[in-house]
Amino acid sequence: MIIRIINKSKHQLPSYSTLASAGMDIRANIDEEIILKSMERAIVKTGLFLEMPEGYEAQIRPRSGLAINKGVTILNSPGTIDADYRGEVCIILINFSNENFVIKNGERICQMVIAKHKKAEWIKVDSLLETERGAGGFGHTGKE
């Protein structure tokens, strides 16, 4: 799949780390380090501008290493970059740890997954088909 991209960052284009990777690493493109204090959030610029094909989205997801090692994650995860959005891709990071986290220029801050999606068409009805599960939710199947 070909995706048109403008790269105004100081870094290489997003890329897959391994042959079977689903996500591409996205890097911070900032002039000065950002100190993200405990429970603080920030919008981090990437310098990337996308032209996604219609019917696709770019999903912004946390990096597992940042989450487990530093307590830093994406606040609205997964974030969605719609096919008609032409602004800069910016990432909302939050620090759930008790320590400051320093975001440096070029740091891998998230990953991007390209996903196909379909438009839904609603049909209003008076009843739904019955299932074994029914309305059970929020852990109704137990712990084991």
Question: Does 124 map to a domain?
Answer: no
Question: Does 90 map to a domain?
Answer: yes
Question: pTM above the 0.85 mark?
Answer: yes
pLDDT beyond 70 at 140: no
CATH assignment of the domain containing 98 = 2.70.40.10
Residue 14, preceding peptide bond in cis (omega within 30° of 0): no
Backbone phi, psi, residue 66, to 5°: -65, -40
pLDDT tens by residue, 25-59: 999 999 999 999 999 999 999 999 999 999 999 99
pLDDT tens by residue, 95-127: 999 999 999 999 999 999 999 999 999 999 999
Question: Does 133 map to a domain?
Answer: no
- Residue 76's Cβ-count burial label (10 Å; 0-12, 13-18, 19+) is exposed
pLDDT tens by residue, 66-93: 999 999 999 999 999 999 999 999 999 9
Domain span at residue 15 reads: 4-116
Quote the number of domains for the chain. Answer: 1
